[in-house]
Amino acid sequence: MLKPVPCSAIRFTGPSGQKAVLVVKALSGDLNPPVMTYDSKPFDVKEQDIGGGQTLPGAVIEILSGDKILHVLYNFTPGQNGRQSLNEVIEEGGKKRLSELATNKDGTNPDIAYHIIGL
C-alpha cells in the first residue's frame, strides 16, 4: 500500500516489488481514460475493479526501487475543466475500497507527475 510522504501532495512510498492498482476518478467533468506512464514506460489503461460491481480506468504497477515518476495525463472532454483524484485500490478481507492519494481540486493542470519511492 502506498503512503504519502509528509508535507508533499505528489510523493508516495511503498515496498519495492509490491503491486499497486492505481485508478483515476472524476470529481467533476467527463473523464476519458487517462494516459499513464511509470518510469517512462507506458501502461495500457484498463477498467479496474474497485468493488461493489464498479470499475474505474487505471493500471497495475509494480513498485520499483528508488524514486520513480508516475506520469498521469488526465483526459477530459474538450472544453471541460474537470477535477480528478488518483486512488489506490486496496483489498482487505476480500473487500475492495479506494484510498485517495491525491486530488487536483482546481482542475487547471491535467498533466501531473507523481513520485513513487520504492523502499
Of the given ranges (1-10, 70-79, 86-95), which has the lowest mean pLDDT?
Answer: 70-79
* Cell numbers given for 77: 472532454
CA 114 to chain CA centroid, Å, is 9
Higher pLDDT among residues 107 and 50, named by residue: 50
- Taking 80 as the threshold, does the pLDDT of residue 83 lie above it? no
Collect all residues with Cβ–Cβ distance below 8 Å to 51 and sequence separation of at least 6.
89, 95, 96, 97
Question: Tens of pLDDT along 52-63?
Answer: 999 999 999 999
Structure confidence at residue 81 (pLDDT): 65
- Taking 60 as the threshold, does the pLDDT of residue 16 lie above it? yes
Q: What is the dihedral of CA 91, 41, 100, 86, to 10 degrees?
A: -130
Average pLDDT over residues 106-114: 73
Helix, strand or coil, per DSSP, at residue 93: coil
* Cell numbers given for 105: 481540486
Most confident of 4-8, 65-69, 75-79: 65-69
